[in-house]
Amino acid sequence: MNQSQIILITGASSGMGKETALRLIAEGHIVYGAARRVEKMLDLVEAGGHVLLMDVTDEAQVQAGIDRIIAEQGRIDVLVNNAGYGSYGSVEETPIDDARRQFDVNLFGLARLTQLVIPHMRERQSGKIINISSVGGKIYTPLGAWYHATKHALEGWSDCLRLELKPFGIDVVIVEPGLIATEFGEVLVDPMLERSGEGPYQGLTKLLAQATKVTYEKKNAASPPSVIADTISGAIRASRPRTRYAVGKLARPLLFFRNLISDRMFDRLIMSQVDR
């Protein structure tokens, strides 16, 4: 599949989303980058792309974005569901409203956008839906219960969707990034410390905050976002893409050990990386 595709990618204002959008524009695709921070996507416009103001939890903005693409291009060939964030803190101390927000962004907003795109793909009997999950959809880390819950849910949701859409010629692809050099660590640490940095979990919280900062500050500890852009580009070109792509630092080793060793042994492996 080498011809120009009409592509919508969410979370395109930074990190993996922006890198992917720029890559796909450079490859000659017609790309609509969507995010809440439109001012952060001016470089996409300069590169020849289009930008949409879109909070994936805002029904009106999501519908308006789809309507605009269909009006201007007549179709959507590829949807890249990349918008998401990590909400960390102990289960006990994380307000349920915060947990709901995590699900609204990482799962329900993504699902609603997908619902609106599917009829256009189904009508053409073709399309690709690429969902950016995480190795966190298969493994777990302390204080990340709500984040991991959304990614575990996304994995199962995507598998079911793949079965439903196969008869209509629509592929569903899951990308499972490992450690990627993005804003993820910065967004994670401060709210986690606010929720759990002074209570009964403060010891674990401070250890995890320090470990996260050290990891993301260390040279070459995380893969560049370009590895995700490479993967998405390859999945778009493939006539029969894989159902899952695990890419980036530690992605494959973590999944390998998760499947190989017991829960208790994996618990010790994860905690050894926090308490260093």
Reply yes or no on whether the pLDDT at 1 is more than 60. Answer: no
Active site annotation includes 133: yes
Q: How many domains does the chain have?
A: 1
In a domain, 115, yes or no: yes
Here the tokens at position 78 are: 């590829």
In a domain, 79, yes or no: yes
Stretch 184-198: mean pLDDT, rounded? 90
Of residues 267, 245, 260, 21, the one with CA closest to residue 133: 245
In a domain, 104, yes or no: yes
pLDDT in tens, 208-240: 999 888 877 777 789 999 999 999 999 999 999
The active-site residue, picked from 18, 138, 151, 249, is 151
In a domain, 86, yes or no: yes
Active site annotation includes 14: no
pTM: 0.94
Give me the domain span that covers residue 15. Answer: 6-274
CATH of residue 256's domain is 3.40.50.720
Active site annotation includes 223: no
pLDDT in tens, 154-176: 999 999 999 999 999 999 999 99
The active-site residue, picked from 13, 87, 158, 223, is 13
In a domain, 22, yes or no: yes
pLDDT in tens, 135-155: 999 999 999 999 999 999 999
Residue with tokens 């759990």: 196
Active site annotation includes 128: no
The active-site residue, picked from 87, 90, 128, 133, is 133
In a domain, 1, yes or no: no
